[in-house]
Amino acid sequence: MTQQHTLRIATRKSALALWQAEFVKAQLEHFHPELTVELVPMSTQGDIILDTPLAKIGGKGLFVKELEQAMLDGRADIAVHSMKDVPVEFPEGLELYTICEREDPRDAFVSNSYKALDELPQGAVVGTSSLRRQCQIKALRPDLDIRDLRGNVNTRLAKLDNGDYDAIILAAAGLIRLEMPERIASFITPEQSLPANGQGAVGIECRSDDEVTKRLLAPLEHQHTRIRVLAERAMNRRLEGGCQVPIGAYAEVTADQVTLRGLVGALDGSQILRAQVTGPSEQAEQLGVELAEQLLAQGADKILAEVYKDSQ
Ligand SMILES: NCc1[nH]cc(CCC(=O)O)c1CC(=O)O
């Protein structure tokens, strides 16, 4: 590496994406004081199509395609992603090389009037566009009126503050990173609602043949997080679920064992399939597949087929 080496980070322009890119930049500069790191902010399809419910647009990787093209064209060297938005498969020539330490993976209950989900009055209006959150909240509280809520974190908070909703559900990690932890009225436990695979974790993608960049990224790797996220993603991959599916996946690691919980739900919360597996950490991905197969044996394929049919 020469003194002048510059590493360019392709990033979306939302506050959270920029925070994550700046975080990776700071880490890289910390480990490599000689390195210059630049951000290359860009808009993605997912940022542009704002008026259609995400579940209806479908299409895996709405938020990553442009970033990936920039790396393939050599306009950028790495892309920083929220792991939960990264498709399970990568285009030829690119790979997810680094998984950084996870922030709190739980969902957060956010409201100006109520402290928790079970305090909401009958028929209260709750905002979320996530099918996963929708089905689990419906199962807990069938009376609630769940309405679509799009936009980046600040837009969603503004809609809550306008009085459009009694409460909204957001990833705790986003609120913590954007320095708004006081917005979290309470955490939603994994028992109430399983988080999305990879929630709270940041991943770094680069060109497969870019050994220089890989060496620079190596110190940012967090093995414990990798095991958890690999197990969670393997489950989603086996279920062929993108990021807009009513699938929850949550892994925890104790000593050298990983415990993975998974769930597939019907959108109205009328049916929720759950399963859990435990095994050695080295077999994280196999455990994810095993869990998916348990869910398929319970009929997850029928539920998911129904969801995909509705989103056509
Ligand atoms: N789908 C959007 C998205 N992607 C990542 C996060 C939060 C941070 C994370 O999971 O790392 C969010 C916002 C949210 O779900 O509230």
- Ligand 1 geometric centre to CA of 47 (Å): 14
Q: What is the pLDDT of residue 242?
A: 63
Ligand 1 binding pocket mutation candidate from 18, 49, 84 (most atoms within 8 A of CB): 84
Supply the pLDDT for residue 283. Answer: 97
Domain end position, chosen among 188, 212, 244: 188
* Residue 65 neighbours by CB under 8 Å, 6+ apart: 44, 45
Per-residue pLDDT of 118-171, as tens digits, reads 999 999 999 998 999 999 999 999 999 999 999 889 999 999 999 999 999 999
Instruction: Report the pLDDT averaged over residues 186-198.
Output: 96
pLDDT given for residue 120 in this prediction? 98
Contacts of 309 (CB under 8 A, 6+ apart): none
Strand 272-280 to 257-265 pairing: antiparallel
Structural domain total, the chain? 3
- Grade residue 216 by pLDDT with cuts at 50, 70 and 90: very high
In a domain? residue 215: yes
Say how far apart CA 291 and CA 25 lie, in whole Å. 36
Question: pLDDT band at 311, cuts 50/70/90?
Answer: low
Number of C-beta neighbours around residue 32 at 10 A: 16
Q: Has residue 195 been placed in a domain?
A: no
* Atom of ligand 1 at shortest range from CA of 171: 16
- For residues 215 and 154, membership in a common domain is answered with no
From atom 13 of ligand 1, which residue's Cα is the shortest distance away?
A: 171
Say yes or no to pLDDT of 309 above 90.
no
Task: Indicate whether 73 and 217 sit together in one domain.
Answer: yes
273 and 305 share a domain?
yes
Q: Considering the domain boundaries, does residue 162 fall inside one?
A: yes
Same domain, 32 and 94: yes
Closest alpha carbon to 111 in 100, 119, 103: 119
Instruction: For residue 48, tell me if it sits in a domain.
Output: yes
Question: Within this chain, do residues 11 and 96 fall inside the same structural domain, yes or no?
Answer: yes
Are residues 89 and 206 both part of a single domain?
Answer: yes
> Domain with 31 in it: what CATH number?
3.40.190.10
With cut-offs at 50, 70 and 90, classify the pLDDT of residue 52.
Answer: low
- Please give the distance, rounded to the nearest whole angstrom, from the Cα atom of residue 82 to the centre of ligand 1: 7
Residue 32 has pLDDT above 80, yes or no: yes
The rounded Å distance from CA 7 to ligand 1 centre is 25
CATH of the domain at 254: 3.30.160.40
Average pLDDT of the chain to the nearest whole number? 92
Residue 226 lies in a domain: no
* Confidence band for 61, pLDDT divided at 50, 70 and 90: low
User: Residue ranges of the alpha helices (H) in 32-110?
Assistant: 45-48, 54-57, 65-72
Are 73 and 133 contained in the same domain?
Answer: no
Could you tell me the end-to-end alpha-carbon distance of the chain, in angstroms, rounded to an integer? 49
Q: Which residues are catalytic?
A: 85
Residues 269 and 302 in one domain: yes
Closest CA to 32 of 71, 57, 5: 5
Between CA 303 and CA 132 the distance in angstroms is 13
Task: Enumerate residues lining ligand 1, CB below 6 A.
Answer: 82, 84-85, 153, 170-171, 173-174, 199-200
Task: Render pLDDT for 218-230 as a digit per residue (tens, 0 to 9).
Answer: 999 999 999 999 9
Q: What is the pLDDT of residue 43?
A: 87
State in Å: Cα 171 to ligand 1 middle.
5
Instruction: Please tell me whether residues 96 and 113 are part of one structural domain.
Output: no
Domain assignment of residue 230, yes or no: no
Of 199, 243, 244, the one to substitute when testing ligand 1's pocket (max ligand atoms within 8 A of C-beta) is 199
Q: Which domain holds residue 56?
A: 6-100+201-221
Residue to probe by mutation, ligand 1, list 85, 193, 244, most atoms within 8 Å of CB? 85
Nearest alpha carbon, ligand 1 atom 15: 171
**Same domain (yes/no): 65, 212:** yes
Whether residue 76 is found in the same domain as residue 138: no
Exposure class string for 126-159: b at 16+ Cβ within 10 A, else e = bbbbbbbbbbbbbbebeebebeebeebbeebbeb
Reported as type and span, the H/E element at residue 33 is none
Q: How confident is the model at residue 243 (pLDDT cuts 50, 70, 90)?
A: low
Does 91 share its domain with 111? no
Please state the pTM of the whole predicted model. Answer: 0.91
What pLDDT is attached to residue 306? Answer: 84
**Dist. CA 272–CA 294, nearest whole Å:** 13
CB 157 within 8 A of CB 117: no
